[in-house]
Amino acid sequence: MNRKTVIETERLLLQEACEEDIKKIIELETHKDNRDFIWIGTVEEHRQEIKDPNHLVLVFRKKTDGSIIGYALIRFDFKSEIFELRRIAISEKRVGYGRETMAGIIRYCFEETNTNRFWLDVYPDNKIGISLYESLGMHRDGILRQNYKSSRGYLDQIIYSILRSEYKDSETK
């Protein structure tokens, strides 16, 4: 199947997901290194997200062999020009794919869409994610205290964002 590549990075193609990818997406969500840090969707929820014009579901494929090593769920608020990264999961850790995909997604957000604000939330114990987001110039906006109930209990969510003006400023440095 010929898939639409939305973002290309040095080592990856970030392509629109289709229904055949849902099983792999759920595998990524439930992977032992990911499951504590992201919400896990059902097959039907993922099917609806793929069909919804306000969402973009991307799978990350290695250029070398086409294998899927990650995915992202993005929600657009077109009226307010907001780009929300709702979920991101990568199976191959500590080799730079997270930084590569996040930089590509942020670049796409501000260079290919009419977005003013890119944001995401992260749990406080996701130290690797927090370090990555801060190193990419994202601003820590605040904490939603005990905002999500999970099998681990009530979890805080830290909000990070970057504005178009901040992105443009970082590009000129």
Q: Parse the chain into domains and list their residue ranges.
A: 5-172
Contact indicator for 98, 118 with CB cutoff of 8 Å: no
- Report the CATH superfamily, name and number, of domain 5-172: Gcn5-related N-acetyltransferase (GNAT) (3.40.630.30)
* pTM exceeds cut of 0.85: yes
Q: Which residues contact 153 (CB under 8 A, 6 or more apart)?
A: none
Identity (one letter) of the amino acid at 73? L
**Is residue 157 packed enough to be buried (19+ CB in 10 Å), middle (13-18) or exposed (0-12)?**
middle
pLDDT tens digits, residue range 62-107? 999 999 999 999 999 999 999 999 999 999 999 999 999 999 999 9
pLDDT tens-digit map of 6-26 = 999 999 999 999 999 999 999
